[in-house]
Chain A
Amino acid sequence: MDATIDIWKVTKTTLFYLLVTAIVVIAIFPFYYAILTSFKSGTDLFRINYWPTSFSLANYQQVFTQGAFPRNLLNSVFVASVTVILALFLAVTASFALSRVRFRGRGILLMTILAVSMFPQIAVLAGLFEVIRFLGIYNTPWALIFSYTIFTLPFTVWVLTTFMRDLPVEIEEAAIVDGASPWVIITRVFMPLMWPALVTTGLLAFIAAWNEFLFALTFTVSNQTRTVPVAIALLSGGSQYEIPWGIIMAASVVVTVPLVVLVLIFQRKIVSGLTAGGVKG
């Protein structure tokens, strides 16, 4: 009797760990294979290997010396950073008002903000194009910084509102009794407490801006102004049959490694930020 129970238990544990292994392998393998490919050059590229066999930096060298990739990388860093700073700047005061002050229409305002964050971006594309042409920022990084506000701002406001709402009333009470103005309360009382939340939302907004494709494809047209997702999407060889896979994989690894490192460092924060954005039911 005992023996059968043990066998059942062992089988169960084995199956569980098989499932765990499957999850990990499926999650990691494509990225692993991209790294593997990026170190192959010449005809090696077209030999299928499951393990590292060669090590050549030729693809990386090409990525950084040919074409506008370094410039694209700088564009991406610039666009994503400025977008995040602007969004956080606008969101801190707004989310203070939304979370700590009672006023009429607050619920509707919150729903509107949530609705904007779930907007299909294509629905505003034509109108945004007109505004961007009107402002004279078409085909510049500012066109992207301007348009990315549509998803970074509602997202940061929403997450920071959830975060601030959960802080106890007591922390403000003393300041209110002392007659401090709301601005002083934000800068002196809330800001010191909010650094962790700001880092998390900033990071998530940065990733979203870094990865954005539709606006970047539509509002920039020259190699010099593109961001990396568009550059990678448009990387192609002389003909349809000569796609430079090695270079594409090297560029992909360059773009992705910083993100993966950031995500792994800030794992816990990111998970809590994502689920705060996803709301508690």
Chain B
Amino acid sequence: MRQRAVAARWFLLPMMIALAVVAGWPLARSIYFSFTDVTLNDLYGAEWVGFANYLQIRTLESGRVIYRGVLADPAWWNAVWNTVRFAFWSVLWETILGMIVALVLNAEFRGRGIVRAAILIPWAIPTIVSARMWSWMLNDQFGILNDLGMRLGLLSAPVAWTASPDTAMLAVLVVDIWKTTPFMALLILAGLQMIPRDIYEAARIDGVHPIKQFWAITLPLVRPALMVAIIFRVLDALRIFDLIYVLTPNSAATKTMSVLAQENLFQFNNFAEGSAQSTLLFLLIALFTIVYIWLGRVNFDAGDR
């Protein structure tokens, strides 16, 4: 047994080194950069500036107070609001629709295999491809969805879904929900399939209404699986980049924290500020995860059985 424990160390070593090099060290460096005046062209000449990239308060001789830094930047708070708004609505709808799809797939009916195969398609399509497919469907002049809406009398005039600030977020939400509801549905389905069928049998004999069965049996028993599925999705939604970058480029109505940080880092030559923004996003996600696991008593049981 001792030999096994020693061998285990050696077996783990390559993986741990790899993770340290691609995750641990870069994370530490990114956080460090956020406290310096680093620029894209001069990564090694950086000097420590403390919290200046986050918030800098200066009082002028005239008595006016000037706030600078990410935390005083309206564009940043706009991105925070967009990210939170996006994460909330997308995960809410994905949960509701994912539950419906999972309940359908959990029923026995002819053609169930076809439905399961069909819902895997949005999941398999690369995000960039789905962004481009949908932006063609949502095109203001030649888009099929405007055509459909007009034919059905739902729209009186074509809408520039992705370009108009009023509808850009809606467009992003629709595409994201379309693409990720299948993942949610499959995770919930796995939870549903672990509920013993005899519970429903007993409830049916006792004459419990199906809707009450859902609230009293299905939901409490599927809750652990649901909690895990939701946190996976929230963490994914909070870091969203690709869909927004391609579907609604340069739209202030949808720009999220990841998009803003990437732009600052590599396009606008604000490397230090971009680092501060990515660090803040990391903190937000870490904080959310801790609170969620703590409050929800989520059980990621992997090691011990």
Q: Give the interface of A toward B (CB within 8 A).
A: 16-17, 19-20, 23-24, 26-28, 30-31, 33-34, 37, 45-46, 48, 50, 90-91, 93-94, 96-103, 106-107, 109-116, 118-131, 133, 146-147, 149-150, 153-154, 157-158, 161-162, 165, 181-183, 207, 210-211, 213-214, 217-218, 228-230, 232-233, 245, 248-249, 252, 255-256, 259-260, 262-264, 267, 270-271, 274-275, 278-281
Contact = CB atoms under 8 A, between A and B. Distances in A.
B74 interface: no
Nearest to B43: A130
Nearest to B285: A120
Given A97-B11, A263-B124, A125 B262 contact: yes
Contact of A260 (B121, B128, B144, B265): B121
In terms of DSSP, what is the predominant structure of the interface of chain B? helix
Contact of B7 (A26, A34, A97, A125): A97
Interface in B108-162: 109, 111, 114-134, 136-137, 139, 141-142, 144, 147
B128 A153 contact: no
A149 B3 CA distance: 29
B278 A125 contact: yes
23 contacts: A20-B109, A24-B114, A30-B125, A30-B137, A33-B136, A34-B129, A46-B142, A48-B144, A120-B282, A124-B27, A125-B26, A126-B29, A129-B266, A211-B128, A245-B136, A245-B139, A248-B132, A256-B126, A264-B120, A271-B186, A275-B190, A278-B187, A279-B302
Contacts of A211: 126-128
B76 to A, nearest CB: 14
A281 B19 contact: no
A253 to B, nearest CB: 9
Contacts of B261: 122, 125
A150 B302 contact: no
Contacts of A131: 21-22, 25-26, 29
Contact of A249 (B107, B133, B194, B289): B133
Nearest to A111: B300
A101 B8 CA distance: 7
A265 B131 CA distance: 25
Given A27-B121, A109-B12, A260-B124, 8 more contacts: A17-B109, A33-B137, A93-B15, A94-B15, A133-B43, A182-B4, A263-B123, A278-B225
Contacts of B211: none
A90 B303 contact: no
B90 to A, nearest CB: 16
A101 B239 contact: no
Interface string B263-305: 0011000010011001101100100010000000011111111
B22 A149 contact: yes
B183 interface: yes
Interface residues of B, number: 105
B28 interface: yes
Given A110-B303, A278-B229, A267 B116 contact: yes
Interface in B171-195: 178, 182-183, 186-187, 189-191, 194
B302 A161 contact: yes
Nearest to B191: A281
B71 interface: no
Contacts of B125: 30-31, 256, 259-260
Contacts of A128: 22, 26
Contact of B241 (A27, A97, A114, A214): A214
Given A120-B285, A218-B262, A127 B241 contact: no
A251 to B, nearest CB: 8
Contacts of B253: none
Contacts of B25: 127, 131
Contacts of B285: 118, 120, 123
A113 B147 CA distance: 48
Contact of B133 (A34, A182, A279, A281): A34
A44 B225 CA distance: 48
